[in-house]
Amino acid sequence: MSLRYSSVIAIILLLTACADQPRSVKPVVATPHSEVPKISGVVASDEAAKTATTVADESPKPFDLTRPDIVAFIDSLSAKHAIPADELRALLGQGLFQPKIIVAMTRPAERVLAWWEYKDRLVSNERIARGREFWNTHRDRLSTIEQKTGVDAAIIVAIIGVETNYGRNMGSWRVLDALMTLGFDYPRRAEFFRSELEHFILLAREESWDPLTIRGSYAGAMGAPQFMPSSYRRFAVDGSIAGSVPARRDLFTDWDDIAASVANYFTAHGWQSGQPVLFDASVPSELLGALDRRNLELDRTLAALRASGVTFESTLPDETRAMLIPAETATGPAARIGLHNFRVITRYNRSVLYAMAVNDLAESLR
């Protein structure tokens, strides 16, 4: 999602004739969840910043399909997946380069948020209240999924709450535009986004989606849980059909599918049922200054933490793997201890701030 940092949606032209009619999907027009800062502490490079400045005043425009990189992409997909090249050109010919997406991806952060500032944005009283309302509305299905998968219902609700405010803000960009723009005009991560564009094309064929109607984040994430196309293909499930390979998986409007897919993502990444996520700790000042929020690995043991002067309350075995996380308060530096399930949350969005927000929102919902 791991992530981290971590809501959003979109789809494409049906490339081959299909006996089934496309599934009707309600278009979403909303503020992309990705506009909520996912802070890693890394700002854009000078080169990326220049790219953003260069395109900032441009207007959306079609892509030149004679570009060598686009020609190569079409030829590769056609050969790998037996999709006629003409159909791919017809689809990609409808994509638009969106300069604002480049700006959004490359602009340097005005500042790096401290944990308490990040928490105030994502674990607000309003989001807690909406989360409790959401849980009450979907209590039966969430309970069933929790019993079946072992993934805490509160975590499922918190993920959806942090990602899209419980489905309210799923994104306003056409996914085709987002993935083409980033795949062909964002060199820093072009390979990744071209791969996601490939998955998106295949996903649309598999799900018989209505072309060009779905919208998502400016990074191409989709649905209430904000899955990228590759994650959608791999982890989305039909929550109403137990134990079968799903023919259709709706992460936009079907809450059975949405909740079950979030749970499936967590089980696939090793969620341990009934185990804690993190706990607070008192940390010597000399350790606080050396903490790196980019570290997402369980690189210590509880015994080693105690030996270094960290104090905390836990009955877990000394050999339990853990990470020490900076968690600044409004009054100064502080830290918390993340455990295995904390690391699993960072697979959804690769940010310790994100994972702490999900945990704290879940705790507030219980």
Of 165, 127, 172, the C-alpha closest to 30 is: 172
Contact criterion met (CB below 8 Å) for 259 and 145: yes
Degrees to nearest 5, angle at CA 20 with 249 and 203: 40
- So what's the pLDDT on residue 45? 45
Stretch among 56-70, 129-143, 264-278 having the lowest mean pLDDT: 56-70
Question: How far apart (Å, rounded) are the C-alpha atoms in residues 198 and 233?
Answer: 11
Stretch among 56-60, 137-141, 362-366 having the lowest mean pLDDT: 56-60
What residue spans define the domains of the chain? 33-268
Section 24-32 average pLDDT: 32
Instruction: Evaluate if residue 14 carries a pLDDT over 90.
Output: no
Contact criterion met (CB below 8 Å) for 247 and 23: no
* pLDDT category of residue 112 using cuts at 50, 70 and 90: low
Of 32, 29, 34, 35, the C-alpha closest to 6 is: 34
Section 275-286 average pLDDT: 95
Strand 215-216 relative to strand 173-174, pairing = antiparallel
- So what's the pLDDT on residue 115? 94
| pLDDT per position as a tens digit, 62-83 | 999 999 999 999 999 999 999 9
- So what's the pLDDT on residue 239? 87
What percent of the chain is predicted at pLDDT more than 90?
Answer: 76
| pLDDT per position as a tens digit, 208-228 | 887 688 899 999 999 999 999
Q: Exposure pattern of 105-119 as b/e (b: 16+ CB <10 Å)?
A: bbeeeeeebbbeebb
Q: Which residues are the active-site residues?
A: 163
Instruction: Evaluate if residue 126 carries a pLDDT over 60.
Output: yes
Of 19 and 277, the structure prediction assigns the larger pLDDT to 277
Instruction: Evaluate if residue 111 carries a pLDDT over 60.
Output: no
Question: How far apart (Å, rounded) are the C-alpha atoms in residues 164 and 146?
Answer: 21
Instruction: Evaluate if residue 41 carries a pLDDT over 60.
Output: no
Section 33-37 average pLDDT: 36
- So what's the pLDDT on residue 52? 59
Q: What is the dihedral of CA 129, 343, 311, 119, to 10 degrees?
A: -30
* pLDDT category of residue 201 using cuts at 50, 70 and 90: very high
- So what's the pLDDT on residue 212? 87
> What class, spelled out in words, does domain 33-268 have in CATH?
mainly alpha
Across the chain, mean pLDDT equals 85
Of 247 and 174, the structure prediction assigns the larger pLDDT to 174
Long-range pairs, 305-312, Cβ under 8 A, ≥24:
305/281, 305/337, 308/284, 309/283, 309/284, 310/281, 310/282, 310/283, 310/284, 310/335, 310/337, 311/281, 311/282, 312/279, 312/280, 312/281, 312/282, 312/337
Contact criterion met (CB below 8 Å) for 360 and 168: no
- So what's the pLDDT on residue 107? 63
Of 246 and 131, the structure prediction assigns the larger pLDDT to 131
* pLDDT category of residue 20 using cuts at 50, 70 and 90: very low
- So what's the pLDDT on residue 51? 60
Instruction: Evaluate if residue 150 carries a pLDDT over 70.
Output: yes
Contacts of 292 (CB under 8 A, 6+ apart): 326
One-letter amino acid for residue 109 of the chain? A
* pLDDT category of residue 13 using cuts at 50, 70 and 90: very low
Contacts of 320 (CB under 8 A, 6+ apart): 301, 302, 314, 339
Contact criterion met (CB below 8 Å) for 257 and 236: yes
Instruction: Evaluate if residue 109 carries a pLDDT over 60.
Output: no
Instruction: Evaluate if residue 27 carries a pLDDT over 50.
Output: no
* pLDDT category of residue 58 using cuts at 50, 70 and 90: confident
